Chains A and B, each alone.
Chain A
Amino acid sequence: MNRSMANRFTPYMFMAPAAVIMAIALLYPLGYMVWGSFRDWNPSQTIGEAEFVGLKNYITLWNDPNFRESLGVTLRFAFFVVTFEMIIGVGLALLLDREIRGMSVLRTMFILPMMIAPVVVGLMWRYMYHPTVGTFNRFLDSWGLPKVDWLGQYALGSVIIADIWQWTPFIFILSLAALQSLPRSALEAARIDGATGWQQIIHIKLPLMMPVLIVTGLLRLIDAFKVLEVILVMTEGGPGLSTEILALRISRTATEFRELGVAAAMSNYLLMLLLLLTVAMFAFTRWQESRAARIRAAVEEDA
């Protein structure tokens, strides 16, 4: 082997261990899941014993009103959660992006919820939502207001509030970082040009933050589709199917209904949804990079 060939292969040699681990840890289970989704598979069987049923699991699911309900819950949950978190997170960042004493302490406090383990968050909120001894109802009671059936009648809303509490900080810190990296002098120029605080936000800050906000929003959306622990602890998907998000339904299908094939097919639906979002995110960043490259090329051409 000559030297140049050796040089060409060296990087691949270094990458090989990582690639092997990836293949075993990632691709094998994934393949297993895809393979299993085509079978009528009971947990007492090995995958080889299970009967091959083609696309039956997928079709059954598509026609299953409970699955559709669950998909609907997931979509609604993700939509509301991400919308509110973006609005509140970006709003807080805009509000707290200033140099006053104690601000750094305040900022640190704001990101605490994100650091708490999801199970603990779930337990905490379940306690606070408790119909009789919960913080909220006791508070309402003390003001003489009627109690609210948080985790019953308004379960989805209550779960959404808990998630907003936990994940708004994520949007907040990323927005704050984006804000603080904005060109200071452009904002000063805007002040001189006559922009009020609101106009600075609308015409300068938000447009310049937009690339970061889009990626942040997509990341949050991907995460929101996968949420499990907090809801599991708070409501276990109930009452009825009102908070049964896909991840919960998958786990119930596998353990309670003992339908591994259907659970696998459902996982694949979720996977496709997430893949779509991930591809959208990468497409967006690629598009941005290529646009930046085009602009650079144009400048060099002029020079």
Chain B
Amino acid sequence: MPTIHLDNLIKRYGDLQVLHGVDLQMEDNEFTVLVGPSGCGKSTTLRMIAGLEDVSEGEIYVDGKPVSHLEPKDRDLAMVFQDYALYPHMNVAQNISFALRLAKRPKAEIDKKVREVADMVGLTEFQARKPGALSGGQRQRVAMARALAKDSSMFLFDEPLSNLDAKLRGQMRAELALMSQRVQKNMIYVTHDQIEAMTLADRIVVMHGGYIQQQGTPKELFQKPVNKFVAGFLGMPPMNFLEGDIEDTGAGTFIKGDGFALRLQGERAATAKAHKNKQVTLGIRPSDLNFDADASAEDALSLDVMVSEYVGAQSVLLCRCGPAKVMVEVNSETPVALGQTLTFAVNPNGVHLFDRQTEAAL
């Protein structure tokens, strides 16, 4: 399966530039997820790879060969659309076999392939139905089967699950992960849902405002976000941000803000020392805040509980720390009263520091 290389890809609609130079390298059999908020240019990037949009500047290389002048049909790829894009007048079997019929493959081969992929996605009994007579989940499967039947080396997905209800989405996500292991192809998957991105991706590419913010494995991005945007985008509940100043005193390196004074440790203390007196934003994930009444004040945050959201075994508490709002997770058995002030120990390795002006990680 090919390697795909996007080289400084730029897209303009008239005078409006929506992609500002996207550089990306995708290896063999890699599951790449483009993720970002709505309107950040994910679909545009994907559609340029597919050949459905012209490239304004830059080039797309597949196995080292430029392809941006090729028609979609000559790029050896299959695509699953957000609205499924099924052919309404064809039944399931005809939808699945359309590409093969156009390619004039022998009938026996087509029939075999249709049976095989219909079986794979669980549509065997529905082959004679038209899309109008299928439920959303079934249509989604037809779209998947149609892409699979083509045997292309690249699979493109544009938010394929976002029209499904939450339960079905979870189920399809798992099936998709299973399928991607089985078929071993290059997959490029676009979504605005960070959970889909984290669970499916070998490589995540976070986009924002027409720029790539960061790319890497889900773990890299989660643990070492390069800026405040990536940090806040990945993870649920999202990372908490507190504004503060770095102060280096005899007692250690501190970050001080309204309502907290946190001592930094190890590597982070060293980093902070290098940016003495700088205005920074402190980032801490809810999972790095542990309820601990005995923690010392300089290793902990004191939070006033405002709202408690019960979500089963865990509860999410929305708290106040000075002017800022902070979310934490606690075991639902923990006795919590609204208005109470609780102490949460900060995991020293879960402390992220960002330049307040540039929002880049320090």
Chain A interface (Cβ < 8 Å from any Cβ of B): 183, 185-186, 188-196, 199, 203-204, 207-208, 292, 295-296, 298-299, 302-303
Contact = CB atoms under 8 A, between A and B. Distances in A.
A207 B130 CA distance: 14
A192 B50 contact: yes
B85 interface: yes
A188 B81 contact: yes
A208 B78 CA distance: 23
A189 B87 CA distance: 9
B134 A192 contact: no
Nearest to A294: B133
A224 B352 CA distance: 78
Contacts of B71: 191
**Top 9 closest A-B pairs, CB basis?**
A185-B85, A193-B99, A189-B85, A194-B73, A295-B133, A194-B102, A192-B72, A191-B72, A207-B89
B81 A194 contact: no
Nearest to A189: B85
A208 B130 CA distance: 13
Contact of A298 (B77, B98, B133): B133
Contacts of B170: none
Interface string B73-102: 100011101111111110000000011001
B88 A193 contact: no
A203 B99 CA distance: 11
Interface in B54-80: 71-73, 77-79
Contacts, number: 74
A302 B84 CA distance: 19
B130 A295 contact: yes
Interface of B: 50-52, 71-73, 77-79, 81-89, 98-99, 102-103, 129-130, 132-135, 146, 150
Contacts of B79: 188-189, 192
Nearest to A187: B85
B178 to A, nearest CB: 24
A205 B84 CA distance: 17
17 contacts: A185-B81, A185-B82, A188-B72, A188-B79, A189-B86, A189-B87, A190-B98, A191-B51, A191-B71, A191-B72, A192-B52, A193-B98, A193-B146, A195-B98, A204-B87, A299-B133, A302-B135
Nearest to B94: A203
Contact of A194 (B50, B52, B86, B99): B99
A188 B82 CA distance: 12
Contacts of B103: 194
A292 B51 CA distance: 34
Which of A185, A196, A303 gathers most chain B CB within 10 Å?
A: A185
Contacts of B130: 295
Contact of A295 (B84, B86, B132, B135): B132
Contacts of B51: 191-192
Contacts of B50: 192
A145 B72 CA distance: 49
Nearest to A184: B85
Given A207-B89, A298-B133, A299-B132, A191 B83 contact: no
Given A185-B81, A192-B72, A192-B73, A303 B135 contact: yes
A186 B95 CA distance: 11
Nearest to B97: A193
A204 B88 CA distance: 9
Nearest to B47: A188
